[in-house]
């Protein structure tokens, strides 16, 4: 049974959080959502794929202002709107109060996976301090941040009606806590060396054979971990 998201004030562990529908007059979303938080239609057009970080619901910890913590529900994160959902019984709501950060945890084949998200970083480009990044490497010298934007785009096929599909745009950023600087980085050794010249010695020692090649996310994370040693 599908239910519309609506404005609520939820109380948990003496913590007050706010929630409301994510629908807006200019949004591609209508007010029809499944229990997985997935929009069923967009302005009469079917949309393929999901705006959610992952299809399943997560347990998690949500950190809010003034030390508030919210833990007692299941959570999903919408990459298209940068909003966190929580589910009570069969109803789905969205946080609208600014979040300091949150972690999402689930078990797969007996292995527990935790994903950390955080905002409050300095503005860069079109992104302000409320932009939510996935924290891949949390180091005292440099942090590796991932920004995964999921955007609804039109897809054209010959002799077929126009379709809408969600596609990802991924970018990475380096954050230096000591100077509170944030810098956009590309996933290859040469570009990272130019962006982080203060770490050039360690970067070039990491793997000189990959200077012109794109690094996958696990390798990029290993590189940033080495910068913090």
Same domain, 22 and 108: yes
Residues 109 and 184 in one domain: no
Mean pLDDT of 210-224: 85
Same structural domain, 91 and 181: no
Q: Are residues 137 and 73 in the same domain?
A: no
pLDDT band at 36 (very low <50, low <70, confident <90, very high): very low
Confidence of residue 10 (pLDDT cuts 50, 70, 90): very low
In the predicted model, is pLDDT for residue 20 greater than 70? no
- Total domain count, the chain: 2
In contact, 211 and 190? CB cutoff 8 Å = yes
Among the residue ranges 30-34, 154-158, 187-191, the one predicted with the least confidence is 30-34
Output the six-digit token pair for 212. 């012109």
Range of the domain at 17: 1-118
Average pLDDT of the residues in 32-54:
58
Q: Give alpha helix (H) positions in the chain.
A: 189-195, 200-206, 217-227
In this structure, are 111 and 9 located in the same domain? Answer: yes
Closest CA to 88 of 166, 12, 141, 24: 12
With a CB cutoff of 8 Å and minimum separation 6, the contacts of 70 are 12, 13, 15, 17, 61, 62, 64, 86
Span 25-32, average pLDDT:
29
**Percent of the chain residues topping a pLDDT of 90:** 48
Burial of 185 (0-12, 13-18, 19+ CB in 10 A): buried
158-173 residue pLDDT tens: 777 777 788 899 999 9
Task: Tell me: do 16 and 64 sit in the same domain.
Answer: yes
Determine, yes or no, domain membership for 9: yes
* Shared domain check, 114 and 185: no
Same domain, 103 and 198: no
């Amino acid at each position: 049974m599908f239910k519309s998201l609506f404005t609520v004030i939820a109380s948990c562990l003496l913590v007050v959080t706010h929630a409301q529908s994510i629908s807006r007059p200019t949004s591609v979303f209508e007010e029809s959502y499944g229990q997985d938080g997935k929009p069923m239609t967009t302005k009469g057009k079917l949309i393929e794929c999901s705006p959610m970080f992952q299809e399943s619901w997560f347990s998690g910890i949500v950190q809010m202002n003034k030390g508030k913590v919210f833990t007692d529900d299941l959570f999903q994160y919408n990459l298209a709107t940068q909003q966190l959902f929580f589910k009570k019984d069969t109803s789905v709501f969205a946080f609208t109060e600014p979040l300091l950060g949150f972690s999402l945890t689930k078990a797969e084949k007996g292995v527990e996976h935790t994903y950390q998200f955080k905002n409050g970083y300095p503005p860069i480009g079109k992104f302000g301090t409320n932009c939510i990044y996935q924290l891949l490497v949390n180091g005292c010298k440099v942090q590796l941040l991932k920004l995964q934007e999921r955007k609804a785009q039109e897809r054209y096929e010959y002799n077929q009606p126009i379709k809408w599909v969600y596609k990802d745009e991924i970018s990475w950023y380096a954050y230096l806590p000591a100077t509170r600087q944030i810098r956009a980085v590309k996933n290859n050794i040469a570009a990272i060396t130019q962006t982080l010249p203060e770490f050039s010695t360690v970067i070039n020692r990491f793997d000189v054979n990959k200077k012109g090649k794109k690094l996958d996310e696990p390798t990029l994370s290993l590189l940033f971990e080495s910068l913090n040693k």
